[in-house]
Amino acid sequence: MGPAGRPPEPQGLSDQKTTGYTDRLTGLGNRHRLSDKVRQLAADRAADPAPFTVGIVNLDGFKPINDLFGQASGDEILCQVAHRLKACVPDGAIVTRHDGDEFAIVLPLVFERLGAERAGQLIKDVLSAPYDLGDRNVRLSASLGFAVYPFAGEDFEELMKSAETALYRSKRRGRGQITVYSREIAQEMKQATQLEQALRNAIINDTVDVHFQPIVRLRDNRIVGFEALARWIDPDLGFVSPAVFVPLAEERGFIDTLSEMLLRKAAEATLAWPRDLFLSFNLSSVQLMDLRTSFNTLSILNSVGFDPRRLELEITETAVMSSADTARRIIKELKDAGIRISLDDFGTGQSSLGRLREFTFDKVKIDRAFVSAITTDRTSEHIIKAIVSMCEGLDLEVVAEGIETDAEARKLRELGCGMGQGYYFGKPVDSAATLRYLAENHHDFALVDRASA
């Protein structure tokens, strides 16, 4: 080993070759240098295979930085990240940069999971501090994946593949997560890959369906709209919950394809509804970081012949927090076209009131966690009463989600809540069943239906 625990440099490298081992932007080593360092370290420990750790660091939400502030700002952040990584890793560690916003570290003196997690927590904390761009500060988080040699792989390619698997797991769990590779995680990721392929095939074969759940006006239980909800039944896997396959599509980078297919299906189905009914549709956090979202959404509505003023897009507080500046721009473009915006799951985030101040929403949806307890928990009742009163002052409509009993509906009505949805009014059903529901429950639709019969 070299000084301070560093493995010796590969022998016989000329200056010209060394240049090929350096990332020009940050001055760090690149993947070629990482490969040489890992192979050298493994060779040094071949006789007595003492463990060491390899990690991959990926910045969360970095792409919108380039989109909003330009590549120069993005490059400046990458240079600051490189500086912070070099400053916070222990002596003997190696930091390299791969393409884009991905960095790698080699920790020769980290031998097991707990040590990797401690190192990862330090790196995560250091990278979460604001980045100075001169006229503004930007905050980012980082996701990390670690692999310990030789348990996660005995050669460079296998070790890096294990670290990448751990990183994927971190990304699936949300932003700012740390994962150390294990066989259990590998099996979980293998199953996720199989599920991904099945979902991709379902999208190609147009077998992911849209179901609709009624939204009613509470004072008279009149139907005012429907929320579109994704449903997927696979021939081999059976029913797959959207809580499983939607995050998977987000993580694997094809949520836009899935969402646009579902929006088209939903918009086409609504053409048979009375024109006074609106369609409510969910946007993912990924779509609120993509500046093409508003254009793609309006293009679909235009091709179907659906009036944008009948569409309400639901977004969560978490989604707008991911990249607030990009989300604000997308929301403005959608609202300028007549689309209404709802804040979903209100009350469950960390700063919902701040979101109401920063964004121009049209509607707030009260999370079912409060609704389900409204008849038994006075705290939930007072929270809902306060939300309704606040929204009235802000000229925001209110929808209560997850209503399952007549008692809940009556209590919400007494508190002044304007709209509601839940199993009490109707479960999500397919487009054909929705038409039958309308024939039975919407007076204007029933008259038209009988007149055309």
Q: What's the mean pLDDT in 383-387? A: 91
Please give the CATH superfamily to which domain 3-181 belongs. Answer: Reverse transcriptase/Diguanylate cyclase domain (3.30.70.270)
Residue 138's pLDDT is what? Answer: 87
How far apart CA 412 and CA 423 sit, in angstroms, is: 15
pLDDT band at 275 (very low <50, low <70, confident <90, very high): very high
User: Which runs of E-coded beta strand occur in 3-119?
Assistant: 52-60, 94-97, 102-107
| Side-chain half-sphere CA neighbours of 27 within 13 A | 8
The average pLDDT across 85-96 equals: 93
Q: pLDDT tens across 225-245, in order?
A: 999 999 999 999 999 999 999
Nearest of 338, 384, 385, 329 to residue 362 by alpha carbon: 338
* 384 half-sphere exposure, CB direction, 13 A CA radius: 32
Cis before 150? omega within 30:
yes
pLDDT tens figures, 131-143: 988 878 888 999 9
Domain boundary assignment for the chain: 3-181, 194-452
240-251 per-residue burial string, b: 16 or more CB within 10 A, e: under 16? beeeebbbbbbb
Average pLDDT, the chain: 87
Residue 225 near residue 446, CB atoms below 8 Å: no
* Percent of the residues in the chain that have a pLDDT greater than 90, as a whole number: 61
pLDDT tens digits along 21-59 = 899 999 999 999 999 999 999 888 877 778 999 999 999
* Residue scoring higher pLDDT (254 or 172): 254
Higher pLDDT, 109 or 45: 109
Which of 182-196, 282-296, 355-369 shows the lowest mean pLDDT across its residues? 355-369
For residue 101, pLDDT beyond 50:
yes
* CATH code, residues 194-452: 3.20.20.450
What are the phi and psi torsion angles at 363 (to 5°)?
Answer: -150, 150
- Rounded to whole angstroms, how far apart are CA atoms 44 and 39? 9
Q: Model confidence over 203-220: pLDDT tens digits? A: 999 999 999 999 999 999
For residues 207 and 327, what is the distance between their CA atoms, to the nearest angstrom?
30
Residue among 221, 299, 318 at smallest CA distance from 260? 299
195, two tokens: 């599920």
**pLDDT at position 351, please?**
47
pLDDT band at 186 (very low <50, low <70, confident <90, very high): confident
Give 110-155 as a DSSP string: --SHHHHHHHHHHHHHHHTSPEE-SS-EE--EEEEEEEEETTT-SS
Q: Which residue has the higher pLDDT, 343 or 173?
A: 343
